[in-house]
Amino acid sequence: MKKVRRIAALGLAGVMALGLTACGGKTADNGGTTEAVKESAGKVGGRTLVISMESVTAEADELRKDYFDKQLKAAFPDDNITIDVASDAQSLQVQVAGGSGPDLFHLNGPTDAVEYAKADRIIDLSSYADKYNWKDLFYDWAYGTSYYDGKLYSLPNSFEGMVVYYNTDVFEANGWEKPETLDELIAVCSDAQAKGLIPFSFGNSDYQGAVDWLYSTFLSCYAGPDAMKEALEGKRSWTDPEVRGGIDEMVDWWQKGYIGDKKSQALTGDDMVSLFASGKAAMMIDGTWASNSLITTYPDCNWDVEVMPEIHDGTGRILPLATGGCFAINKSCKDPEFAAEVLNWIYTGNLETHIKGVVEAGFQPFPIKTIEPESFTGMNEKMLDMYQALFDGMDSGKVGYCSWTFFPSTARNYMNENTDSLFLGQLSADDYLNKVEELVKAAVADGSAPQLP
Protein backbone atom coordinates (compact mmCIF):
# COMPACT_ATOMS: atom_id res chain seq x y z
CA MET A 1 0.00 0.00 0.00
CA LYS A 2 1.32 3.44 -0.86
CA LYS A 3 2.48 5.50 2.07
CA VAL A 4 1.60 9.12 1.50
CA ARG A 5 3.68 10.40 4.38
CA ARG A 6 4.91 9.57 7.84
CA ILE A 7 3.93 11.97 10.58
CA ALA A 8 6.40 12.39 13.45
CA ALA A 9 5.01 11.74 16.89
CA LEU A 10 4.17 14.71 19.06
CA GLY A 11 4.84 14.36 22.76
CA LEU A 12 1.55 13.40 24.37
CA ALA A 13 2.36 15.45 27.44
CA GLY A 14 2.17 18.51 25.21
CA VAL A 15 -1.37 17.77 24.04
CA MET A 16 -2.72 16.33 27.30
CA ALA A 17 -4.34 19.54 28.49
CA LEU A 18 -5.88 20.19 25.09
CA GLY A 19 -7.15 16.63 24.92
CA LEU A 20 -8.91 16.91 28.26
CA THR A 21 -11.04 19.77 26.99
CA ALA A 22 -11.37 18.94 23.31
CA CYS A 23 -12.39 15.30 23.22
CA GLY A 24 -15.66 15.12 25.07
CA GLY A 25 -15.46 11.33 25.04
CA LYS A 26 -16.17 11.07 21.31
CA THR A 27 -14.17 9.95 18.34
CA ALA A 28 -13.57 12.42 15.55
CA ASP A 29 -16.32 12.80 12.98
CA ASN A 30 -14.28 12.72 9.78
CA GLY A 31 -16.64 11.15 7.30
CA GLY A 32 -14.50 8.05 7.15
CA THR A 33 -17.00 5.57 8.54
CA THR A 34 -16.92 2.34 6.57
CA GLU A 35 -19.72 0.13 5.30
CA ALA A 36 -18.73 -2.43 7.94
CA VAL A 37 -19.61 0.12 10.59
CA LYS A 38 -23.02 0.91 9.20
CA GLU A 39 -23.99 -2.73 8.85
CA SER A 40 -22.75 -3.87 12.25
CA ALA A 41 -24.05 -1.04 14.44
CA GLY A 42 -26.84 -1.70 16.90
CA LYS A 43 -26.55 -5.42 17.61
CA VAL A 44 -28.12 -6.06 21.02
CA GLY A 45 -25.87 -7.85 23.48
CA GLY A 46 -22.83 -7.83 21.27
CA ARG A 47 -19.41 -6.65 22.39
CA THR A 48 -18.34 -3.18 21.28
CA LEU A 49 -15.04 -2.08 19.78
CA VAL A 50 -13.85 0.98 17.86
CA ILE A 51 -10.84 0.53 15.57
CA SER A 52 -8.99 3.46 14.03
CA MET A 53 -7.15 2.81 10.77
CA GLU A 54 -4.71 5.12 9.00
CA SER A 55 -6.07 6.71 5.84
CA VAL A 56 -3.63 6.26 2.96
CA THR A 57 -5.53 7.13 -0.23
CA ALA A 58 -9.23 7.01 -1.09
CA GLU A 59 -8.53 4.06 -3.39
CA ALA A 60 -6.64 2.17 -0.71
CA ASP A 61 -9.35 2.86 1.86
CA GLU A 62 -11.90 1.33 -0.51
CA LEU A 63 -9.69 -1.70 -1.14
CA ARG A 64 -9.33 -2.23 2.59
CA LYS A 65 -13.06 -2.80 2.81
CA ASP A 66 -12.76 -5.79 0.47
CA TYR A 67 -9.67 -7.32 2.05
CA PHE A 68 -10.27 -6.52 5.71
CA ASP A 69 -13.55 -4.88 6.77
CA LYS A 70 -15.87 -7.51 5.28
CA GLN A 71 -13.84 -10.38 6.72
CA LEU A 72 -13.78 -8.77 10.16
CA LYS A 73 -17.57 -8.36 10.08
CA ALA A 74 -17.99 -12.01 9.10
CA ALA A 75 -15.63 -13.20 11.84
CA PHE A 76 -17.49 -11.31 14.58
CA PRO A 77 -21.11 -11.21 13.30
CA ASP A 78 -22.70 -10.77 16.73
CA ASP A 79 -20.51 -7.89 17.87
CA ASN A 80 -20.52 -4.14 17.25
CA ILE A 81 -17.19 -3.23 15.62
CA THR A 82 -16.77 0.27 14.25
CA ILE A 83 -13.91 1.10 11.89
CA ASP A 84 -12.99 4.77 11.76
CA VAL A 85 -10.50 6.27 9.32
CA ALA A 86 -8.19 8.59 11.27
CA SER A 87 -8.15 12.10 9.85
CA ASP A 88 -4.63 12.82 11.12
CA ALA A 89 -2.15 11.75 13.77
CA GLN A 90 -2.60 14.82 15.94
CA SER A 91 -6.37 14.37 16.23
CA LEU A 92 -5.81 10.80 17.40
CA GLN A 93 -3.27 11.98 19.95
CA VAL A 94 -5.62 14.61 21.35
CA GLN A 95 -8.43 12.08 21.72
CA VAL A 96 -6.27 9.45 23.40
CA ALA A 97 -4.54 11.98 25.65
CA GLY A 98 -7.95 13.09 26.86
CA GLY A 99 -8.95 9.57 27.87
CA SER A 100 -11.19 8.81 24.90
CA GLY A 101 -10.58 7.85 21.29
CA PRO A 102 -10.67 4.41 19.61
CA ASP A 103 -10.10 1.19 21.51
CA LEU A 104 -7.62 -0.27 19.03
CA PHE A 105 -5.63 2.01 16.77
CA HIS A 106 -2.95 2.08 14.11
CA LEU A 107 0.23 4.13 14.51
CA ASN A 108 3.00 4.92 12.05
CA GLY A 109 5.59 2.85 13.88
CA PRO A 110 7.07 1.80 17.22
CA THR A 111 8.70 5.18 17.85
CA ASP A 112 5.20 6.66 17.88
CA ALA A 113 3.99 3.87 20.18
CA VAL A 114 6.75 4.73 22.66
CA GLU A 115 5.29 8.24 22.98
CA TYR A 116 1.92 6.76 23.95
CA ALA A 117 3.52 4.26 26.32
CA LYS A 118 5.57 6.95 28.05
CA ALA A 119 2.36 8.91 28.60
CA ASP A 120 0.64 5.75 29.94
CA ARG A 121 -2.06 5.92 27.25
CA ILE A 122 -1.72 2.39 25.80
CA ILE A 123 -1.76 -0.94 27.63
CA ASP A 124 0.92 -3.54 28.18
CA LEU A 125 0.13 -6.47 25.86
CA SER A 126 2.45 -8.99 27.54
CA SER A 127 -0.32 -11.15 29.03
CA TYR A 128 -2.08 -11.35 25.64
CA ALA A 129 1.23 -12.17 23.96
CA ASP A 130 1.50 -15.20 26.25
CA LYS A 131 -2.13 -16.16 25.64
CA TYR A 132 -1.87 -16.02 21.84
CA ASN A 133 1.81 -16.98 21.52
CA TRP A 134 2.65 -13.83 19.54
CA LYS A 135 6.37 -14.14 20.14
CA ASP A 136 6.56 -17.20 17.89
CA LEU A 137 4.34 -15.59 15.24
CA PHE A 138 6.50 -12.59 14.34
CA TYR A 139 10.02 -12.19 13.04
CA ASP A 140 12.21 -11.58 16.07
CA TRP A 141 13.60 -8.25 14.83
CA ALA A 142 10.11 -6.84 14.18
CA TYR A 143 8.62 -8.16 17.42
CA GLY A 144 11.51 -6.72 19.41
CA THR A 145 10.75 -3.20 18.21
CA SER A 146 7.40 -3.35 19.98
CA TYR A 147 8.89 -3.24 23.47
CA TYR A 148 9.30 -0.23 25.72
CA ASP A 149 10.82 -0.44 29.20
CA GLY A 150 10.70 -4.23 29.03
CA LYS A 151 7.01 -4.43 28.17
CA LEU A 152 5.17 -5.15 24.92
CA TYR A 153 3.04 -2.16 23.91
CA SER A 154 2.29 -2.69 20.22
CA LEU A 155 2.36 -5.21 17.38
CA PRO A 156 4.02 -4.45 14.01
CA ASN A 157 1.68 -4.61 11.04
CA SER A 158 4.09 -4.52 8.07
CA PHE A 159 7.71 -4.46 7.07
CA GLU A 160 9.51 -2.35 4.49
CA GLY A 161 12.87 -0.95 3.48
CA MET A 162 14.59 1.95 1.74
CA VAL A 163 15.75 1.25 -1.80
CA VAL A 164 16.87 3.03 -4.98
CA TYR A 165 14.47 3.23 -7.92
CA TYR A 166 15.92 3.54 -11.43
CA ASN A 167 14.00 4.94 -14.40
CA THR A 168 15.15 2.35 -16.94
CA ASP A 169 14.01 4.41 -19.94
CA VAL A 170 16.23 7.28 -18.81
CA PHE A 171 19.14 4.93 -18.21
CA GLU A 172 18.75 3.29 -21.61
CA ALA A 173 18.41 6.62 -23.44
CA ASN A 174 21.68 7.83 -21.90
CA GLY A 175 23.62 4.60 -22.21
CA TRP A 176 23.99 4.14 -18.46
CA GLU A 177 24.21 0.85 -16.61
CA LYS A 178 22.82 0.54 -13.11
CA PRO A 179 25.73 1.51 -10.84
CA GLU A 180 27.39 -1.17 -8.75
CA THR A 181 29.91 1.08 -6.96
CA LEU A 182 30.02 4.56 -5.48
CA ASP A 183 32.24 5.81 -8.32
CA GLU A 184 29.78 4.52 -10.91
CA LEU A 185 26.88 6.11 -9.04
CA ILE A 186 28.60 9.50 -8.84
CA ALA A 187 29.43 9.28 -12.55
CA VAL A 188 25.74 8.80 -13.36
CA CYS A 189 24.83 11.75 -11.13
CA SER A 190 27.37 14.01 -12.84
CA ASP A 191 26.31 13.00 -16.34
CA ALA A 192 22.64 13.41 -15.46
CA GLN A 193 23.23 16.96 -14.26
CA ALA A 194 25.21 17.77 -17.41
CA LYS A 195 22.18 16.68 -19.44
CA GLY A 196 19.70 18.74 -17.43
CA LEU A 197 18.32 15.84 -15.42
CA ILE A 198 17.88 15.56 -11.65
CA PRO A 199 19.99 12.62 -10.44
CA PHE A 200 17.76 11.76 -7.43
CA SER A 201 14.21 13.05 -7.18
CA PHE A 202 13.24 14.19 -3.69
CA GLY A 203 10.71 16.57 -2.17
CA ASN A 204 9.44 17.27 1.34
CA SER A 205 7.64 20.61 1.22
CA ASP A 206 4.38 18.96 2.30
CA TYR A 207 6.05 16.81 4.96
CA GLN A 208 9.36 17.97 6.35
CA GLY A 209 9.97 14.64 8.08
CA ALA A 210 10.41 12.78 4.77
CA VAL A 211 14.09 13.55 5.29
CA ASP A 212 14.13 10.47 7.52
CA TRP A 213 14.07 8.39 4.34
CA LEU A 214 17.37 10.03 3.40
CA TYR A 215 19.28 10.02 6.66
CA SER A 216 18.10 6.49 7.48
CA THR A 217 19.54 5.36 4.15
CA PHE A 218 22.81 7.26 4.27
CA LEU A 219 23.59 6.46 7.90
CA SER A 220 22.76 2.77 7.49
CA CYS A 221 24.57 2.31 4.18
CA TYR A 222 27.68 4.21 5.23
CA ALA A 223 28.13 2.95 8.79
CA GLY A 224 27.01 -0.63 8.26
CA PRO A 225 24.96 -2.68 10.76
CA ASP A 226 27.51 -2.97 13.57
CA ALA A 227 28.63 0.66 13.79
CA MET A 228 25.07 1.95 13.43
CA LYS A 229 23.81 -0.36 16.14
CA GLU A 230 26.55 0.81 18.49
CA ALA A 231 25.60 4.44 17.84
CA LEU A 232 21.91 3.74 18.54
CA GLU A 233 22.86 1.91 21.73
CA GLY A 234 24.92 4.89 22.89
CA LYS A 235 28.16 2.93 22.66
CA ARG A 236 29.70 4.83 19.73
CA SER A 237 29.86 8.56 19.20
CA TRP A 238 27.71 9.95 16.41
CA THR A 239 30.68 12.11 15.38
CA ASP A 240 32.78 8.99 14.88
CA PRO A 241 33.88 8.99 11.21
CA GLU A 242 32.11 5.67 10.58
CA VAL A 243 28.78 7.28 11.52
CA ARG A 244 29.33 10.92 10.63
CA GLY A 245 30.47 9.92 7.15
CA GLY A 246 26.91 9.02 6.21
CA ILE A 247 25.61 12.46 7.17
CA ASP A 248 28.52 14.18 5.42
CA GLU A 249 27.86 12.16 2.24
CA MET A 250 24.14 12.97 2.31
CA VAL A 251 24.73 16.71 2.81
CA ASP A 252 27.40 16.74 0.10
CA TRP A 253 25.04 15.10 -2.40
CA TRP A 254 22.25 17.55 -1.60
CA GLN A 255 24.51 20.59 -1.86
CA LYS A 256 25.85 19.38 -5.21
CA GLY A 257 22.29 19.14 -6.47
CA TYR A 258 22.28 15.36 -6.74
CA ILE A 259 19.27 15.19 -4.40
CA GLY A 260 16.26 17.21 -5.51
CA ASP A 261 18.31 19.71 -7.52
CA LYS A 262 18.75 21.70 -4.26
CA LYS A 263 15.00 22.44 -4.40
CA SER A 264 13.61 19.66 -2.24
CA GLN A 265 12.02 22.09 0.24
CA ALA A 266 9.89 23.42 -2.65
CA LEU A 267 8.81 20.01 -3.97
CA THR A 268 6.05 17.82 -2.56
CA GLY A 269 6.14 14.08 -2.20
CA ASP A 270 3.85 13.80 -5.23
CA ASP A 271 6.23 16.04 -7.18
CA MET A 272 9.05 13.70 -6.23
CA VAL A 273 7.38 10.65 -7.73
CA SER A 274 6.09 12.57 -10.75
CA LEU A 275 9.55 13.90 -11.66
CA PHE A 276 10.92 10.36 -11.51
CA ALA A 277 8.07 8.78 -13.45
CA SER A 278 8.15 11.44 -16.17
CA GLY A 279 11.88 10.94 -16.76
CA LYS A 280 12.97 14.32 -15.42
CA ALA A 281 14.86 12.52 -12.67
CA ALA A 282 16.97 9.42 -13.20
CA MET A 283 16.67 7.86 -9.74
CA MET A 284 14.72 8.08 -6.50
CA ILE A 285 15.55 7.05 -2.94
CA ASP A 286 12.21 5.87 -1.59
CA GLY A 287 10.61 3.11 0.41
CA THR A 288 9.49 -0.23 -0.92
CA TRP A 289 5.92 1.07 -0.52
CA ALA A 290 6.45 3.39 -3.52
CA SER A 291 6.51 0.47 -5.96
CA ASN A 292 2.75 -0.01 -5.80
CA SER A 293 2.17 3.67 -6.50
CA LEU A 294 4.42 3.50 -9.55
CA ILE A 295 2.56 0.48 -10.89
CA THR A 296 -0.93 1.88 -10.35
CA THR A 297 -0.45 5.63 -10.89
CA TYR A 298 2.29 5.59 -13.52
CA PRO A 299 1.77 2.37 -15.48
CA ASP A 300 3.79 3.67 -18.44
CA CYS A 301 6.87 4.32 -16.35
CA ASN A 302 9.54 1.63 -16.76
CA TRP A 303 11.60 1.21 -13.65
CA ASP A 304 13.73 -1.14 -11.63
CA VAL A 305 14.60 -1.21 -7.94
CA GLU A 306 17.66 -2.36 -6.00
CA VAL A 307 19.40 -1.87 -2.69
CA MET A 308 21.68 1.18 -2.59
CA PRO A 309 25.16 0.46 -4.04
CA GLU A 310 28.01 0.35 -1.53
CA ILE A 311 28.76 3.96 -0.57
CA HIS A 312 31.53 3.21 1.95
CA ASP A 313 34.31 0.71 1.41
CA GLY A 314 33.76 -2.51 3.33
CA THR A 315 30.10 -2.19 4.22
CA GLY A 316 28.69 -3.87 1.12
CA ARG A 317 25.11 -3.26 0.07
CA ILE A 318 22.90 -2.48 3.07
CA LEU A 319 19.10 -2.59 3.17
CA PRO A 320 17.69 -0.07 5.69
CA LEU A 321 14.85 -2.05 7.28
CA ALA A 322 11.71 -1.00 9.14
CA THR A 323 8.31 -1.97 10.31
CA GLY A 324 5.70 0.09 8.48
CA GLY A 325 3.32 0.68 11.36
CA CYS A 326 1.83 -0.94 14.44
CA PHE A 327 -1.35 -1.52 16.42
CA ALA A 328 -1.86 -0.58 20.07
CA ILE A 329 -4.75 -0.80 22.53
CA ASN A 330 -5.99 2.37 24.20
CA LYS A 331 -5.62 2.59 27.99
CA SER A 332 -9.26 3.73 28.10
CA CYS A 333 -10.53 0.65 26.23
CA LYS A 334 -13.38 -0.86 28.25
CA ASP A 335 -12.96 -4.39 26.87
CA PRO A 336 -9.23 -5.02 26.32
CA GLU A 337 -9.84 -8.78 26.18
CA PHE A 338 -12.04 -8.30 23.10
CA ALA A 339 -9.58 -5.82 21.61
CA ALA A 340 -6.76 -8.36 22.00
CA GLU A 341 -8.93 -11.09 20.47
CA VAL A 342 -9.58 -8.91 17.42
CA LEU A 343 -5.90 -7.97 17.28
CA ASN A 344 -4.97 -11.64 17.20
CA TRP A 345 -7.56 -12.27 14.47
CA ILE A 346 -5.97 -9.54 12.32
CA TYR A 347 -2.73 -11.53 12.16
CA THR A 348 -4.02 -15.10 12.22
CA GLY A 349 -7.72 -15.24 11.28
CA ASN A 350 -7.53 -13.31 8.02
CA LEU A 351 -4.12 -14.41 6.78
CA GLU A 352 -5.16 -15.89 3.44
CA THR A 353 -7.11 -12.76 2.49
CA HIS A 354 -4.28 -10.55 3.75
CA ILE A 355 -1.82 -12.29 1.40
CA LYS A 356 -4.30 -11.83 -1.47
CA GLY A 357 -4.35 -8.13 -0.59
CA VAL A 358 -0.56 -7.99 -0.75
CA VAL A 359 -0.56 -9.63 -4.19
CA GLU A 360 -3.63 -8.01 -5.71
CA ALA A 361 -3.91 -4.62 -4.00
CA GLY A 362 -0.33 -3.80 -3.06
CA PHE A 363 -0.82 -3.91 0.72
CA GLN A 364 2.36 -4.42 2.72
CA PRO A 365 2.77 -7.86 4.32
CA PHE A 366 2.76 -8.59 8.03
CA PRO A 367 6.24 -9.33 9.45
CA ILE A 368 5.24 -12.85 10.45
CA LYS A 369 7.21 -16.02 9.91
CA THR A 370 4.56 -17.83 7.89
CA ILE A 371 4.75 -15.17 5.13
CA GLU A 372 7.64 -15.63 2.69
CA PRO A 373 8.27 -14.91 -1.01
CA GLU A 374 6.63 -18.19 -2.01
CA SER A 375 3.40 -16.85 -0.49
CA PHE A 376 3.06 -14.22 -3.22
CA THR A 377 1.82 -16.34 -6.12
CA GLY A 378 0.80 -14.16 -9.05
CA MET A 379 2.47 -10.99 -7.77
CA ASN A 380 3.80 -8.41 -10.22
CA GLU A 381 7.35 -9.48 -11.08
CA LYS A 382 8.94 -6.20 -10.02
CA MET A 383 7.10 -6.25 -6.71
CA LEU A 384 8.16 -9.84 -6.13
CA ASP A 385 11.82 -8.98 -6.83
CA MET A 386 11.57 -6.14 -4.35
CA TYR A 387 10.17 -8.36 -1.62
CA GLN A 388 12.79 -10.97 -2.38
CA ALA A 389 15.40 -8.29 -1.69
CA LEU A 390 13.74 -7.61 1.67
CA PHE A 391 13.77 -11.26 2.65
CA ASP A 392 17.35 -11.67 1.42
CA GLY A 393 18.39 -8.70 3.52
CA MET A 394 16.77 -10.15 6.63
CA ASP A 395 18.38 -13.53 5.99
CA SER A 396 21.86 -12.08 5.41
CA GLY A 397 21.82 -9.64 8.30
CA LYS A 398 23.03 -6.88 5.95
CA VAL A 399 20.34 -4.52 7.13
CA GLY A 400 20.30 -1.00 8.44
CA TYR A 401 18.02 0.92 10.75
CA CYS A 402 15.18 3.19 9.63
CA SER A 403 14.45 5.96 12.10
CA TRP A 404 10.69 5.40 12.48
CA THR A 405 11.39 1.92 13.82
CA PHE A 406 14.78 1.96 15.54
CA PHE A 407 15.61 5.55 16.58
CA PRO A 408 14.41 7.04 19.88
CA SER A 409 11.43 9.27 19.10
CA THR A 410 13.18 12.33 20.55
CA ALA A 411 16.20 11.86 18.28
CA ARG A 412 14.05 11.16 15.24
CA ASN A 413 11.90 14.23 15.80
CA TYR A 414 14.98 16.42 16.16
CA MET A 415 16.52 15.02 12.98
CA ASN A 416 13.29 15.41 11.01
CA GLU A 417 13.02 19.04 12.08
CA ASN A 418 16.68 19.97 11.52
CA THR A 419 18.05 18.01 8.56
CA ASP A 420 16.93 20.69 6.12
CA SER A 421 19.02 23.17 8.13
CA LEU A 422 22.02 20.93 7.46
CA PHE A 423 21.31 21.00 3.73
CA LEU A 424 20.95 24.78 3.71
CA GLY A 425 24.14 25.37 5.70
CA GLN A 426 22.28 26.80 8.68
CA LEU A 427 23.47 24.10 11.10
CA SER A 428 26.84 22.39 11.40
CA ALA A 429 27.18 18.62 11.28
CA ASP A 430 28.96 18.70 14.66
CA ASP A 431 26.10 20.55 16.38
CA TYR A 432 23.52 18.33 14.69
CA LEU A 433 25.21 15.04 15.56
CA ASN A 434 26.14 16.07 19.09
CA LYS A 435 22.48 16.82 19.78
CA VAL A 436 21.40 13.50 18.26
CA GLU A 437 23.95 11.68 20.45
CA GLU A 438 22.69 13.50 23.54
CA LEU A 439 19.09 12.47 22.80
CA VAL A 440 20.02 8.87 22.01
CA LYS A 441 22.01 8.44 25.22
CA ALA A 442 19.19 9.95 27.27
CA ALA A 443 16.71 7.53 25.70
CA VAL A 444 19.00 4.57 26.34
CA ALA A 445 19.36 5.67 29.97
CA ASP A 446 15.63 6.04 30.59
CA GLY A 447 14.63 2.90 28.72
CA SER A 448 12.72 4.61 25.90
CA ALA A 449 15.14 3.63 23.12
CA PRO A 450 13.71 0.93 20.82
CA GLN A 451 15.04 -2.61 21.12
CA LEU A 452 17.51 -3.38 18.33
CA PRO A 453 17.90 -6.74 16.58
pLDDT tens for residues 220-248? 999 999 999 999 999 999 999 999 999 99
Does 12-157+325-363 match 160-322+396-446 in CATH topology?
yes
Look at residue 192 and tell me whether its pLDDT is greater than 80.
yes
Q: Which residue has the higher pLDDT, 294 or 56?
A: 294
Instruction: Work out the number of other CB atoms within 10 angstroms of the CB of residue 194.
Output: 8
Per-chain mean pLDDT for the chain = 88
**What is residue 109's predicted lDDT score, i.e. its pLDDT?**
85
Q: Where are the domains of the chain?
A: 12-157+325-363, 160-322+396-446
Contact criterion met (CB below 8 Å) for 113 and 451: no
Stretch 99-124: mean pLDDT, rounded?
A: 92
Q: Give Rg (Cα) of the chain.
A: 22
- Domain 12-157+325-363: CATH superfamily is Periplasmic binding protein-like II (3.40.190.10)
Q: Which residue has the higher pLDDT, 34 or 203?
A: 203
Distance CA 125, CA 106 (A): 15
Contact criterion met (CB below 8 Å) for 95 and 391: no
Question: pLDDT exceeding 90 applies to what percent of the chain?
Answer: 71
Look at residue 52 and tell me whether its pLDDT is greater than 70.
yes
Segment holding 84, helix H or strand E: strand 80-86
For 181, the 3-state DSSP assignment is coil
The one-letter code for the residue type at 266 is: A
Q: What is the pTM of this model?
A: 0.86
The one-letter code for the residue type at 190 is: S
Least confident of 14-28, 210-224, 304-318: 14-28
**What is residue 43's predicted lDDT score, i.e. its pLDDT?**
64
Least confident of 64-78, 345-359, 375-389: 375-389
Look at residue 300 and tell me whether its pLDDT is greater than 90.
yes
DSSP 41: T
* SS3 annotation, 194-210: HCCCEEEECCCCCCHHH
**What is residue 231's predicted lDDT score, i.e. its pLDDT?**
98
Polymer length of the chain = 453
**What is residue 37's predicted lDDT score, i.e. its pLDDT?**
42
Contact criterion met (CB below 8 Å) for 33 and 84: yes
Segment holding 453, helix H or strand E: none
Handedness of CA 15, 18, 24, 28 (dihedral sign): negative
**CATH fold group of domain 160-322+396-446:** D-Maltodextrin-Binding Protein; domain 2 (3.40.190)
Cβ contacts of 163 within 8 Å, gap of 6 or more: 285, 286, 287, 288, 305, 306, 307, 308, 319, 386, 389
Stretch 358-385: mean pLDDT, rounded?
A: 91
Question: Packing angle between helix 211-232 and helix 409-423, nearest 10 degrees?
Answer: 130
Quick one: which of 14, 5, 95 has its CA closest to 54?
5
**What is residue 6's predicted lDDT score, i.e. its pLDDT?**
40
Least confident of 18-27, 162-171, 203-212: 18-27
Stretch 71-97: mean pLDDT, rounded?
A: 89
For 450, the 3-state DSSP assignment is coil
**What is residue 293's predicted lDDT score, i.e. its pLDDT?**
82
For 324, the 3-state DSSP assignment is coil
Ordered alpha helix ranges (H), 12-151: 12-22, 35-40, 58-64, 70-75, 89-97, 110-118, 126-132, 140-144
Distance CA 146, CA 276 (A): 35
